[in-house]
Amino acid sequence: MTGYKTMRNTSAAFMGLLVLLLTLATVPQPALGADGVTDANVAEKGAIAATPADHEALAVYFTTKAGEAAAEIKLHENMRGRMMGKNRARMNSHCRQLIQAARSEQEAYEDLADLHRELGKEAHK
């Protein structure tokens, strides 16, 4: 029985370390567009965007944000199904909810990037 407990504890420790490493690997860095678009100034940059370059910078920013959402999806897909114990179903449900939210976020950011690329083409005319 002692060998089984040791193996189980080692497996649990390994899974904890794996989750920690996956979390650290996918911590998003602040999004920065080609022309200095940041989380802090995106509203201002969007309000004054007038040139193709302005809109392309916003498109790059939103593409970066979509990538961050994709990393969140990957993180929670990796964790889903790996939980053990009596709370497994609740944790898996939690992961599914976060995956769904991140997918919606990713799609919204991709749509915004596409919109700014279109607006950039129109600004060029």
Spatial distance between the Cα atoms of 23 and 1, rounded to a whole number of angstroms: 33
Whole-model pTM: value is 0.69
The single-letter DSSP state of residue 85 is S
Number of domains, the chain = 1
Per-residue pLDDT of the chain (125 residues; tens, 9 = 90+): 555 555 555 565 555 555 545 554 554 444 444 458 999 999 999 999 999 999 999 999 999 999 999 999 999 999 887 777 888 888 889 999 999 999 999 999 999 999 999 999 998 76
98 lies in which domain range?
2-124
Neighbouring CB atoms inside 10 A of 37's CB total 25
> Which tens digit of pLDDT belongs to each residue from 12-31?
555 555 554 555 455 444 44
Q: Count the neighbouring beta carbons within 10 Å of the beta carbon of residue 60.
A: 19
Single-letter code of the amino acid located at 79: M
Tens digit of each residue's pLDDT (9 = 90 or more) over 30-43: 444 445 899 999 99
Residue 116: exposure state from Cβ atoms within 10 A (0-12, 13-18, ≥19):
buried
